[in-house]
Chains A and B, each alone.
Chain A
Amino acid sequence: MSSPASTPSRRRGKRGRGSNPPTPQDARSPPSQKRRTDDSTSTGDLQPMPTSPPADVQSPGAADALFSSPPQFRHSAIPLDFDVSSPLTYGTPSSRVEGTPRSGVRGTPVRQRPDLGSARKARQVDLHSDGLAEDVVATEQSLGQKLVIWGTDVNVASCKEKFQRFLQRFIDPLDKEDEDIGLDLNEPRYMQRLQEINMVGEPFLNVNCDHLRAFDENLYRQLICYPQEVIPTFDMAANEIFFDRYPDSILEHQIQVRPYNALKTRNMRNLNPEDIDQLITISGMVIRSSQLIPEMQEAFFRCQVCAFTTRVEIDRGRIAEPSVCKNCNTTHSMALIHNRSMFSDKQMIKLQESPEDMPAGQTPHTVALFAHNDLVDKVQPGDRVNVTGIYRAVPIRVNPRVSSVNSVYKTHIDVIHYRKTDSKRLHFVDEETEQKRFTEERVEMLKELSKKADVYERLAFALAPSIYEHEDIKKGILLQLFGGSRKDFTHTGRGNFRAEINILLCGDPGTSKSQLLQYVYNLVPRGQYTSGKGSSAVGLTAYVMKDPETRQLVLQTGALVLSDNGICCIDEFDKMNESTRSVLHEVMEQQTLSIAKAGIICQLNARTSILAAANPIESQWNPKKTTIENIQLPHTLLSRFDLIFLMLDPRDEAYDRRLARHLVSLYYQSEEKMEEEYMDMAVLRDYIAYARSYVNPRLGEEASQALIEAYVDMRKIGSGRGMVSAYPRQLESLIRLAEAHAKVRFSAKVETIDVEEAKRLHREALKQSATDPRTGIVDISILTTGMSATARKRKEELAQALRKLIQSKGKTPSLKYQQLLDDLRAQSDTAVTKEMFDEALRALADEDFLTVTGKTVRLL
């Protein structure tokens, strides 16, 4: 949008910068020299702009010179834009001057950066005392190294130059971040970013400190140590490049550089006094945010007597009211004009350290954050964020009346950059945070571990070492912890394929099922532990009942809490009531949870694995009964478990002996000795987390073949006896298990050995759980239909008998229900219960032979 108004001004600006130092510079006195960099916080440009408010305060003389200078410099429209709007550019600056487009570094108003604060005023000191009169611009070419900001080793000119070089040249094709979508990694990354700013119009440039460090170690160090001085310099550099490139771009205000990812992300606990005034990045959780607070950045005073105006900038959080008018020397005549003062948005936020950073047994630390301007309201309580900012310690206000002061400083962080660690990455929630936690050595160690041939056994052994044996069950749980690969078939209409593995443990009491569950619950970051006894999916109340005979109190309670991306451990699954179980149907296969409340039906994601433990119906396992009869769970629910393990008391002398020895050892071994023997729980946890976030195995050709064979085999077992037994669900289970096993090996490809193990485990679990007691043959149909083959046959026969009976009645369109039952009973030589009859009717209805409506049976 090049308009005649803007273009010249830009050109002049460039010339002014490049060739001859502009006049106001010369007119300045040494004190104003000192304040050079302060101005830069507000102007963002090397040259003291006439609009730069502090200059007015600093020296009225200079201000006069400045006010006289504009005609030299600018088109007449511009000064208007500046003088009126610049100090007041709060909100919508462009609306002030109707239709006058601004562009270029001159035209774009400067937005103050309260995040850099003015708590400590920077001064520039020349190392050679005679350099006072020299201008920075002049030194840029000749004596660049001499002039540094007071108290630091930062030289504005060289710093700026380096940063510009960084912006123009930095390329790192290997480093891929998720924000980098649409970036060409082989082109200078930040130039593309600037282009993006030009297009989008959001004047913020996020700079990854890691990149900066890779580019220039020293510049990075300066940034970390003197952010308050260096960041404005970066701003200048960025703006120059930007407006050089996109002279016609219109931005709300000048570009502000926002560095992030300083050093490595720090733990809040490690903050110490040495970090004060440095750039730090810490992670944590937002626990509270305040209302928006308008904070005065610059006060506008007018003399009541002579109407002389002056501006006072905030200094250490205070405004010093001028007591004497500089113009007419009247004392106490200056009055604050509110609507000409400048305010910025500010918000106080409390950040608490993330639970995983906390040492056990201590309470979390918190730190106060101050967010400014557009960073206000960017985060909400509950958000996990990485915050980059400047750590501040402010002495508590000196009270004039009390000579002694509290010797404690108040600390806070001025936020420069937020990086949310969840939200955007909702799909892979934990990955980002976990990725941060792995140091390189740790990753090396984990990879080393994964190369061991027996890693699978090793990990299984490390799982709940206090629980004796049950090797296969531990392996199954291990695979559950790793989970399968997530597949998305939404476009083909199938939706998400479940990647989570569900496991049911069923067995005798006292076989440490609960302990296993508790262990898993403690191991995973998002575990839930509930007891099925009285769990309810709705509300959370309970009733205390008293058994009148035993005077025993019974509690009926509990809530079923399902967490997304976690494992839900349900103890006493068999005691869960029907309505709650029905919720699980949806969760376990579709991985969603539907809630209907207040006329709204809402479907929530609940991608959770279920690890359930159930006691047999007679509390002791009855070996004469089938699993189904022992567990008494609806078969629809059972078929949703990938693995069903029986934890049976083997009643074997050798086993008892080993068990006894194991338990006795628990009672006298010292804690240290125990720890030596087993793999650390932390290692296991990291191993799982790493595999879950980085390893996503795909099926290989061979593995696919193996899976097909396995499935065909499974189906054959059933078809040999004339019935379909294995369902596609079992195939999916096999795939998941194979994928999980590949993850254990850190392998990107599912291979035959994975399928073999999946098959073995599946068979192992099934062999125990689906052995037909009458035939002794593995019968998967028990699981899928809830009845054994013989019972199934009986049902079939009854249905056929019923069909014959109906057909024998001739052409009657409808029959009476009760009549039919009586007839069937009369005909059959075995007892026919009502349930059996209903089932037979249903079977026939499925064949489209008849329909049942109320008490009549209609033939089709």
Chain B
Amino acid sequence: AQNVPNSDWEKKVTEYFKEKLKENNATNWVPSLNDVPVHYLKPNSLVKFRCMVQDMFDPEFYMGVYETVDPNTKARVLHFGKYRDVAECGPQQEIDLNSSQTVTSERQTFYCVPVPGESAWVKEISFLTEPVQARVSPSTSYTPSRHKRSYEEDEDMDLHPSKQKEQHMGKSCCSGGDIHGCVEPKRLETEASAGHHVISPNCSPPLDLNFPLPGEKGPACLVKVYENWESFKVNDVLEVFGVLSVDPVLSIVNSEERDGSSLDPMECMDTAEEQRVHSPPASLVPRIHVILAHKLQHINPLLPACLNEEESKTCEFVSNFMSELSPVRAELLGFLTHALLGDSLAAEYLILHLISTVYARRDVLPLGKFAVNLSGCPRNGAFTEHLYRLIQQLVPASFHLRMSIESMNHSRFIPHKDYTANRLVSGLLQLASNTSLVIDETQLEQGQLDTAGVHNVTALGNLITWQKVDYDFNYHRMEFPCNINVLITSEGRSLLPSDCQVHLQPQIIPPNMEEYMSSLLTAVLPSVLNKFRIYLSLLRLLDYSISDEVTKAVEDDFVEMRKNNPESVTADDLHKMLLVARFLSLSVGQTTLSRERWLRAKQLEALRKARLQQQQSVNGNEL
């Protein structure tokens, strides 16, 4: 009998939250796990988390509805098990595991990590847009006591309606038990922090939180999804809203299990590692019970989260920005020209590269990828290092990969499945869509690559050519498509494949690279910098088409070019030119190809090729 109203109730909760969060910037009021350390957040409160799905665990069966019984009075109470980890019951009660009222439901757990390589400015800006944060701590350090208060207020605002609602909904079948399980928040909180200290010595080797990139910080999270989990994929970037669960009981239950008697038959089901990975201490890896989750198109906080919607607000934003597009482009070009030591052609190509994205796949061929090989870079690492820093300031997520024999042989590029712990151990190449990967080949010396190194280089090659990474599942490999912008800096032509090689021609050699670059960055106003950021993220999302006339013109052009010199222009070249034309048009905000742009694209390509010829790179068979 419970089932029918039950499902209704569940739907209404989601609807309610969806509505509430739409209202004037309500999302900004929800504290984010990205910015606030877990122990400052109240358990069982509403939180949000911007993250990437790193791994998917097995589905869980949990007690959707369970019954507790008081052994003395035999009073029976029904409880809801949704949105929580632990089946709560009062001190005088026991859970009746054999009750016929018990409803088993299913949910899916995702292991989520913060978006790998997320730029500092993304964190900063999204942090600042949160009014609470802005109000309380404009500076760096936290002031825990005040925070707590503010979150409590915060939580009251957001949670109370839902609480009432839930109570209201649940009343029919539940004799007044507290549904939300808000058992004296204060006590729990002290327990949580206490548990934090007690438990950490327990797990002797530090828990590997499995971040794809080294040196990442931020909480990893077990995200429990209750519906539509099939629609999410590994490496998707999500924003989830849900109930935070850091119940210390979880850790107790687990640790009990760990040193429980060996007679327990369930004990042998999982190895110790698996236990550790799948139920880590809640203080380290909190759980979020998702009420709402959606995929993010981008993580740039300067843009409206969803651009597809026909909302007046987004349209306005886009058209406003489009009107001032050309000055922004000019300024960005100037900025990058300086960054590339005065080489405007390379700067032009860099813009095209930064707004490129895989927009479609034609059977195996990814369309729209534009990996650039910037050759002729000065040998000392300083240049690429600083160039990366500038790029980091412009794109929401990036990673700098310094190639060396050592790093090739010893780092983990390809994610692989660890069957003992039953998880996908992450690798450098497990990146979210539209991450900028800057590969520095200038530091690479001659040397011997071992098996791992060869695999790594092959994986990089596949990533660039096919925009996919073959994850290693030991007994088989599995292909995960990706969408990563790869920029390779090298002295000669890179050993990695690329779509287009641009040879750098520095006009100026600054005596002090560091000074030069940092002065460049400080010279840009923050507001202008933000415009650059919007520019790069926004243009990537625009649609594009080619009219029939232009198609005809391109055809004629191609035939003409081949007539004159069939050796020089191949189908590959046409591919490249069309790509350049596409991004060139988009970079000035045009969504269709015009004749002028086509000619400009041809011109750019010709310039680039002339440079290569000049460089006399005795290339083999590639170009």
Contacts and interface: CB of A to CB of B under 8 A. Distances in A.
Given A407-B62, A557-B457, A290 B268 contact: yes
B15 interface: no
B558 A674 contact: no
A656 interface: yes
Nearest to B59: A365
B596 interface: no
Given A293-B268, A295-B265, A407 B85 contact: yes
Contacts of B492: 547, 550-553
A150 to B, nearest CB: 13
Contact of B617 (A271, A550, A649): A550
Interface string B397-421: 0000000010000000000010110
Interface in B465-522: 466, 473-476, 478-481, 490-495
Contacts of A358: 478
Interface in B521-558: 544-546, 551, 554-555, 558
Interface stretch (A25-33, A446-454, A511-519): A511-519
A288 interface: yes
B86 A543 contact: no
B574 A660 contact: yes
B597 interface: no
Nearest to B477: A355
Interface stretch (B40-48, B93-101, B325-333, B335-343): B93-101
B458 A558 contact: yes
A308 B587 CA distance: 91
B253 A406 contact: yes
Interface string A543-557: 111110111111101
A397 B361 contact: no
B566 A649 contact: yes
B264 interface: yes
A508 to B, nearest CB: 8
A659 interface: yes
B444 A674 contact: no
- Contact-residue size bin, chain B (C-beta under 8 Å from the other chain): 35 or more
A686 B457 CA distance: 33
B248 to A, nearest CB: 10
A397 B266 contact: yes
Nearest to B558: A660
Interface of chain B, main secondary structure:
mixed
Interface stretch (B153-161, B311-319, B575-583): B575-583
B546 A651 contact: no
Contacts of B449: 541-544, 555, 557
A661 B579 contact: no
Interface residues of A, number: 102
A382 interface: yes
Contacts of B559: 653, 656-657, 660
A812 interface: no
Most buried by B among A287, A290, A615: A287
Interface in B588-623: 593, 616-618, 620-622
Interface in B290-308: none
A667 B578 contact: yes
Nearest to A559: B454
Contacts of B620: 619
Contacts of A775: none
A363 interface: yes
Contacts of B424: 363
A178 interface: no
A315 to B, nearest CB: 11
A466 B260 contact: no
Contact of A317 (B60, B266, B447, B582): B266
A490 interface: no
B422 A366 contact: yes
A594 interface: no
Given A403-B93, A551-B491, A396 B266 contact: yes
Interface in A520-563: 522, 539-547, 549-555, 557-559
B360 A355 contact: no
B61 A540 contact: no
Contact of B493 (A271, A394, A550): A550
Given A557-B454, A664-B546, A393 B61 contact: yes
Given A399-B253, A668-B546, A674-B360, A663 B578 contact: yes
A273 B268 contact: no
Contacts of B363: 464-466, 519, 522, 681
Contacts of A398: 94-95, 97
12 contacts: A287-B419, A360-B481, A364-B478, A402-B249, A403-B93, A512-B571, A540-B451, A540-B455, A552-B492, A553-B492, A620-B567, A656-B558
Interface of A: 271-273, 276, 285, 287-288, 290, 293, 295-296, 317-319, 346, 348, 350, 355, 358-368, 381-382, 393-399, 402-412, 464-466, 468, 508-512, 515, 518-519, 522, 539-547, 549-555, 557-559, 615, 619-620, 649, 651, 653, 656-657, 659-661, 663-668, 670-671, 674, 681
Given A408-B60, A543-B447, A666-B365, 8 more contacts: A285-B475, A368-B270, A405-B253, A407-B81, A466-B363, A651-B562, A653-B563, A663-B571
Question: Closest 3 A-B residue pairs measured CB to CB?
Answer: A552-B492, A361-B233, A510-B570
